[in-house]
Chains A and B, each alone.
Chain A
Amino acid sequence: MTTKTITISPVTRIEGHAKITIHLDSRGEVDDARFHVVEFRGFEKFCEGRHFTEMPQITPRTCGICPVSHLLASSKACDAIVGHEIPRPAKLLRELMHMGQTIQSHALSFFHLSAPDLLLGFDSDPAARNIVGLIQQQPAIAIKGVRLRKFGQELIKLVAGRKIHADFPVPGGVNKVLTIAQRDEILKGLPEAFEHAKFALELLKGYHKANLADVEDFASFDSNYMGLVQPDGALELYDGKLRFCDSTGKMFHDQISPDKYLDYISEAVEPWSYMKFPFISKLGYPNGMYRVGPLARVNVCSHIATPLANDELKIWRAKGQVRASSFYYHWARLIELLYGLERAQQLLNDSEITSTDVLVPNQPTKREGVGVVEAPRGTLIHHYWVDENGRIEKANLIVATGHNNLAMNRGVQALAKKYVKAKKLQEGMLNRVEAVIRCYDPCLSCATHAVGQMPMQVELADASGTVLDQATRG
């Protein structure tokens, strides 16, 4: 029986609004732990009645961290409603923009949000355990992170016109071409960006080696995995088909067309969170738990189509196909960061990248459209239904962080059981619990399209609900 509840609020250095509660039994042992998302905005309702061409401008406001993902998923859903293939150069430009986002978002996650734990220590002074503390204590490293993120953001600006909430992809293609001068300017920044990405990888591998026991057991648990792959099974972020693998890496659904997602994924709601709990339909709830995002994508892919990232994949797979510890999200993220840079380089060197053939007419010809991309944090699904004039009748969104909801809860439980020894709440312990969440780099902003910000506070309550102890950090 649960006799005490620990609440951590707000959960900081994650991109969203949330709380964690840890429930203790009568012996003071951890009975259950829950990750609560505490914001709701209602995109799935308030988009009704808007013209479908507005969706790529409205839905990115779900999230300012990965707005490009929403922009692209939305544009792809709108392309399906238009019913024509978009020109190849438009596709290249969209993917290039997407790589810019992958780079900036993964750099942000690693350097700005997680590196303070890894470099300054989980038990270091909370007031300095952040990017600013990192700038002050390890300026050389922090600046690399700042500059790598800046490279991704500048790439987005050069391709799309502005860094956050650009209006560049539109139904039927894109509304701007890339000039040769702009292309060359991006290319000029690539060598430095590669250096920083490789530096981050080495740093992480060093941390991994030095803390092997801890990282292998950092909220490690079995789950299924889902991600987009290319026709030959290679890692894919912009297009491709869905692949599902079990905890051993064995595929059980492969090359699933993303517009069939409703046949494979369902969602559940719990009264204690505004974020829904997607699950694999045939496995039921909650057994159908699966993970998405960097860890899942790197686990499910057969290989990576760019050489440097593929070499890193081989190192990652030294001990087998699948890594289960949540810590490996960080590593997978950096492999993808390297892929993002390599792929951006390929796209920039494509002769059609500066083509002016970037848009087809965008009258609605279909009544329904699904658009799916791999956002930095995982698979993002936009699904719209329109009337004959192209007005939205219904919209359904399943965001990256949502897919991970069951897994994040499981991760918090696993870690709470290891580190929370009731009675006295210790700061470093709480930070570790929070760090599990941070592994998933949850974009609660996205998740609370339906969700929003992730606060942290710990509360102990007895079975009658009386609060016995409370710890708010600071």
Chain B
Amino acid sequence: MKKTTATKPAKKPVRKPAAAATPPAPAKVRVATMWLSGCSGCHMSFLDLDERIVELVKLVDILYSPIVDVKEIPDVDVGIVEGCVNNNEQEHELKKLRSRCKVLIALGDCAVTGNIPGLRNQFTLKDCLLRAYEQTESTKISCIPNDPVVPVLNAKARPLQEFVKVDLSIPGCPPDADTIWYALTELLAGRMPQWTEKNLRYD
């Protein structure tokens, strides 16, 4: 795996120039990962880093993620988001993360383009809900979920950059682990990853 730079020592954590004046640099880069409307395949691909996760957690603290138990988004250096924005709560969470992170990464095609969840955009939301909750052949007791406890669906499923500034997009459905590793290690080394045909080819 030529892309691997695991053995290189971590340099400066990623931060915007404007933030350079802020007080003591954290020992580790603070990371949050978030899962919006997607299949979790990008998080699974992240776990496909396998043993490299052990290396990674020496360099970063994962402070918020579907795999950790912290429920409120803290201030972080890097926010990584899988999935597109499908409802009002996701929109809110995404904006909150954006306001609390220095670098925002759109991980995978749903975050970058809307991808499969975006297929619903060719139909009205009402028709999608009617099919799922009223018309499917197995549904015998029906209603459309509308309790205040469930989020309100947006009319269309949209990618991240329609809501917030995205600093880096990692395309793929999902991007493979080597590509995620390359992107993270480049960022940790203070460089912006450069995409080539080679590192975006996944099969």
Contact = CB atoms under 8 A, between A and B. Distances in A.
Interface of A: 7, 9-10, 12-17, 19, 21, 34, 36, 38-42, 44-48, 58, 60-65, 67, 108, 112-113, 126-127, 129-132, 135-136, 139, 143, 146-147, 149-150, 153, 161-165, 261-262, 265-274, 276, 278, 281, 285, 383, 394, 396, 398, 431, 445, 450, 452-457, 472-474
B139 A65 contact: no
Given A136-B57, A271-B147, A41 B37 contact: yes
Nearest to A13: B67
Interface in B20-49: 35-45, 47-48
Interface in B38-84: 38-45, 47-48, 50-51, 53-54, 57, 62-72, 74, 83
B127 A127 contact: no
Given A64-B43, A445-B40, A161 B86 contact: no
B145 A269 contact: yes
Contacts of B202: 162
B155 interface: no
A368 to B, nearest CB: 11
B41 A165 contact: yes
A64 B41 contact: yes
B57 A41 contact: no
Interface of B: 35-45, 47-48, 50-51, 53-54, 57, 62-72, 74, 83, 86-87, 89, 115-117, 119-120, 122-123, 127-129, 131-133, 136-147, 149-151, 153, 157, 173-174, 176-177, 202-203
B89 A162 contact: no
Contacts of B177: 163
Contact of A67 (B39, B51, B119, B176): B39
B47 A149 contact: yes
B174 A164 contact: yes
A42 B141 contact: no
Contacts of B39: 60-65, 67, 445
11 contacts: A12-B70, A61-B41, A64-B42, A112-B47, A130-B62, A143-B54, A271-B143, A272-B145, A272-B147, A272-B149, A453-B66
B48 A13 contact: no
Given A38-B149, A163-B45, 4 more contacts: A15-B40, A17-B35, A44-B136, A130-B62
Nearest to B147: A272
Given A162-B202, A265-B138, A273 B150 contact: yes
Given A40-B153, A269-B133, A472 B71 contact: yes
B54 A64 contact: no
Given A12-B69, A146-B51, A64 B140 contact: no
B110 to A, nearest CB: 8
B176 to A, nearest CB: 7
Contact of B150 (A38, A58, A143): A38
